[in-house]
Structure 1
Amino acid sequence: MPDSGELPSSAFATLGKRPFGFYVHIPFCVTRCGYCDFNTYTAAELGPGASHRDYADTAIEEVRLARRVLGDTDLPVETVFFGGGTPTLLAADDLVRILRAIDTEFGIAPGAEITTEANPESVGPRSLETLRAGGFTRMSFGMQSAREHVLRVLDRQHTPGRAAEAVREAREAGFAHVNLDLIYSTPGESDDDWRASLDAAIEAGPDHVSAYSLIVEDGTRLAARIRRGELPMPDDDVAADRYLIAEELLSKAGYGWYEVSNWATSEAARCRHNLLYWTGGDWWGVGPGAHSHVGGTRWWNVKHPAAYASRLAEHRSPAHAREILTPADRAVERVMLELRLLSGFPLADLTPEARPAAAHALATGLLDVNAFKSGQAVLTLNGRLLADAIIRDLT
């Protein structure tokens, strides 16, 4: 990747014709959860050359770099997503400053979706009011579970009831859109535990729920505990049963699936930023380890906050490397992403080699019959359980 951050001419061919967004990575956490392999750092892990205090200014420098690299193309920003880590470990005023820099350089589109993730214990009424007044429109809280013993296995710090309190505080601060993230199939979790977590999430009243099966990542504390025999490995069949429980309870409560792991109470409640990813939009990723995509060029930043800050201080791009996707790469990725959506994938865009597999998936009840007749490959409930296998067959 050039120090200037310059992109190949091919990246500009369709720039401005697709939705454009920003992802802002905040790499700080108070403690590291046992299952997490994200690019995050506790205070003890940061080392010299990086700090919470200077981070907003450093991120703003990358926003300005983005404007220089992308030139004068009109790119009103339709979505911004602050993720982590724990974005709300930064002062709310700092998050607002980064958002204002994006607005200054690019312009925030009218009605844009502006989300930040937060741990339930990392916000309160005052910080939520500051975020809402500063232009944020959506909060996403990491609830994970309503059972204390499950939270302990995950090394989560909040108490079981805190997520519901955070939802209430966000509503009182004026947030119309609130998400709760849940994790299922944690070692030691029972079906009743999972039902209790779903019931608690529904009762809290968010308009969006994300539910993810626990993945044991190499190098995490959880993986080490399983390897030593302290905890059992999550079971795929149990995970499938938990997914069916989630669909049952969420659908009864008025949440409809629109992506395999995401449910919303209305189309307006769907996460537009994630939909930008899933439908091939363009975005610039700010922060250490953040990934970006513009017009078929994908790149990713250096991972450590100190190296990231150093490069920007030297007026160099923080990008570590990039790849230019071939048309075949992009076609495969499109199937991988769009088939996970309620809207599905156009059958006419499948390769001739993939069409027999689509017909087989239809015959075995994994694709919706009515959607198929209308020219779309849309997963049934059983199809969602086997989404990865179906995607492999269709690519």
Structure 2
Amino acid sequence: MRSRSFEEDNARSSPLVSMATETSSCDYLVVGAGASGMSFVDTLLLHAPEPVSVTLLDKREQPGGHWNDAYDYVTLHQPARNYGVESTALEAFTQHPEKLASRDEILDYYRSLLSRWGEAGHRVSFVGGAAYDFGSASYVVDARYTENDLPLLVPPKFSVGDGVDLIPPNQLPARGAGEGRRYCVLGGGEAGGHARSELALPWANEGGRSAAELTTYVHCTAGAFNFGASAAEGRRPVFSSEGEITVQELFQFPGFCFNGAVVAWLECQRGLSLAQKNALCELPPPPEEGEAPPLGQAPARTRPRCAHGARAPIGHPLLVSLRNLRRWYATPGMGEWLHGLRLFSLAMNGYSLAEGRALVEKNCDGLVEAGLLTPPEEGR
């Protein structure tokens, strides 16, 4: 079992904090109480072979990660039944389960987990408004490595001329419609879609003013799956020999919550060596220097090629995900756990465990035949 003492140098009082002293000890110090960190803690508490104590640290005053920074009208981009943590259904916290969960519903859900863990007898503390120096740390879980970029926090990847009115989507409700301005939404992802739905605008044209003067540009180009905070850091193993665990992108979708649960489940497997755990956690390689443009077409390394005999793009995140999935289903005990996990969709879509395994193998075999995937490695 791990034991770690630390100083709450930058911690401030929070109504959700159950710690009364400045110096505390815990088995796991989890930095980042967003989707990845909360999911890691929940699965750790469910599957650890012995009771563990956990301290959650976050720079925000409450759990929920980027949902605290998101615009008020944001909704979840996927069904609630595949989001959150392993033990507790998010859809139970939504007023209309058939619709996408709102920001407030998701934040309520994450706040409630702290109470639920305590009621179940788990020793979990939350410290909000705090920072942590990873350079002097060991025995910690870095759950903020895949902290996503938000337009509110990340400047646009393009230059902005003088006099151009550029706002993040958070400011749209305050602007409202009917002010005689045009709105141009920059970015066609989830935030861009939300911004367009928020705007029901009559186009107006004031004589003598240029289009730029009449237009407010809504910056939605940060990219929820761009991880600017960690992009400059080199790839690190998920499980280090120094005792640090880094939750990273092992599987593209369902994403953050799912990855946190997978890493925690592996941490609980005392029969697996460090090398075996990391072998089950293949990561996409980092972009080469100067390779990834800020906007535009993805670099060649990440674009699948379909010609037979062509060198397979082995680092493409989708193909890394499929290789990991094949390994997980082949690992004793992991396939069974994975298939029944509420954050994963095969069981919920009516597949039996045998059918799920067969589907994964069939998809991988087809990609091998097409030259897009290498055959499964010996011993992995």
More strand by share: 1
So what's the TM-score if we normalise by structure 1? 0.27
So what's the TM-score if we normalise by structure 2? 0.27
More helix by share: 1
Q: State which structure, 1 or 2, has the greater radius of gyration over its C-alpha atoms.
A: 2
